[in-house]
Chains A and B, each alone.
Chain A
Amino acid sequence: MYRSGSDAPRPTVPRLSARRAYGIQRWVAPNRFYRAVARRLVRMPLAYRWFTAGERIAKQRLFGCRMCAQCALPVTGYACPMGCPKQLRNGPCGGVSPAGACEVYPEMRCVWVVAVERAQQGGHESDLLRLHRPVDHREWGRSSWVNYWLGRDDNLWTSADLRAGQPIHAESPIHAESPIHAESPIHAEPPNRAGPVS
């Protein structure tokens, strides 16, 4: 068996059924109330810490959450891709065993095999066609719910329309608006949202 650090990403099986998870989606969708809560939380560091601790406990138990703070669950059949040893956010690698096991931890099922199954069960397979942008590693340990309610992760992935052809650098609101990170000169440069420059 492969020996790895206790902190290394490792596949988990979601404890919440796909049907339940998609059902809960409606209850946490951003609205005026949640936005107001989120705005208050970012201004109150202690409350933010407690809120994030609660989120960590709940999502760790249910989904094996590792607190990347850029939650992909709603578009991956509520199976967390961050448990993949390669942290793949755009689908499975080529090493999945014929039985659907992870190549690194053969005793575990591949998170993407689980994700595809659950998305198909829930009639959400078109979600799997979205292109996920790279993870912002400054966000680890922060609250993905707050990010979600404030619309900071609106650009984490593209639409499921594979002909759209967007560039990868469409600046995510995490970079643009986060009160946590001072704007660096890199991000101060206006992103080119319009497509090809030439």
Chain B
Amino acid sequence: MSRLAEALRSGRFVVTAEIGPPRGADPDAVTDKAQLLRGWVDAANITDNQGAHVRLSSLAGGVLTMRAGVEPVVQLTCRDRNRLALQSELVSAGALGVPNVLLLTGDHPKFGDHPDAKPVFDLDGVQLVWTARTMRDNGRLISGRPVNPAPRWLIGSVENPFAPPQSFRAQRLAKKVAAGAEFVQTQFVFDREMFERWMVDVRELGIPDRCGILAGVGVVRSLRSLEYMRTKVPGIHVPDAIVARLRGVPGDRVAAEGARLCVETLQWLSTVDGVAGAHVMAFGAEQVVPEILEAARLGPGGPAHAAQRAEGVPNAG
């Protein structure tokens, strides 16, 4: 049912992107973004109150994305829901035919638009992955009660290869894989050296055979957004050389340089042993994703190719 699972099995470089749902009750805000991505990506994440800011729910966004012809990856965090609500959401995603879920701990409310909210964190990200696998493969809830029929989504999670304790980061991913994660999306890869060091540990643990590694790639559109990422978003590591490179071009060319950097990173990632694909995050500038993927010649190859494949015409790319 999950085309993302199929793409991961095919061995081709897989590409996912991200759709941030709107704050308003506007379905077009989701479907417009989905239409820009259709055919260019294997699936698109729908974030769950990203950065602890209130948005249209990820499940609703996932359904809208499916209607627009793009396969969704519905994100679910432990920040806003206890174990009852999380399991209920997972059952609902199954009933609505959502093919992929991405399960994570979530940002602390401190960083969002309601810092006065009660942080829930009844489960942690690893436990949520484990819960999902138990629901799907054992047909049981955390309580042991049966889930019948069991939902059938592909289970994904996240990891940050760049945050301390570095020696434990690959093992933490191994824990998530043991808990049931079948694909993982990483924090933005700006520091290739550090990513490569993490991949050595990941390969040593045999993770790429059991879990598709999708490396996170960020599209820097302006120096302001670069500054925001470096200073305001926890867990993002941008080496000085990258900062110098983006600051070194005239203001009106930063976006183009950011796109070029993204293309180079994608092409490099496609050569790294054990990397199954990339997760491209454009922060609301979804229109640049097709250009970048076309320039990098990676992913499903656009709506034309997707249509050809559907008719059984072999894809040159």
Residues on A lying within 8 angstroms of B by beta carbon are 2, 85-100, 103-104, 110, 112-113, 116-117, 120, 128-129, 131-135, 137, 162-165, 167-169, 171, 186-187, 189-192, 195-198
Contacts and interface: CB of A to CB of B under 8 A. Distances in A.
A129 B167 CA distance: 13
A86 to B, nearest CB: 5
Nearest to B233: A95
A61 B44 CA distance: 48
Nearest to A188: B144
Given A196-B137, A198-B139, A128 B171 contact: yes
Interface stretch (B5-13, B120-128, B246-254, B292-300): B120-128
A2 B234 CA distance: 14
Contact of A98 (B140, B164, B167): B164
A90 B175 contact: yes
23 contacts: A2-B110, A88-B125, A92-B165, A95-B160, A96-B235, A99-B164, A100-B165, A103-B108, A104-B110, A116-B167, A128-B168, A128-B171, A134-B83, A134-B122, A135-B122, A162-B178, A167-B134, A168-B130, A169-B142, A186-B144, A189-B144, A190-B144, A195-B138
B159 interface: yes
Given A86-B121, A88-B124, A131-B175, A113 B165 contact: yes
Contacts, number: 155
B31 interface: no
Nearest to B186: A94
Report, as a range, how many residues of chain B touch the other chain. Answer: 35 or more
Contact of A162 (B106, B159, B174): B174
Contacts of B168: 91-92, 112, 116, 128
Given A91-B172, A129-B175, A113 B164 contact: yes
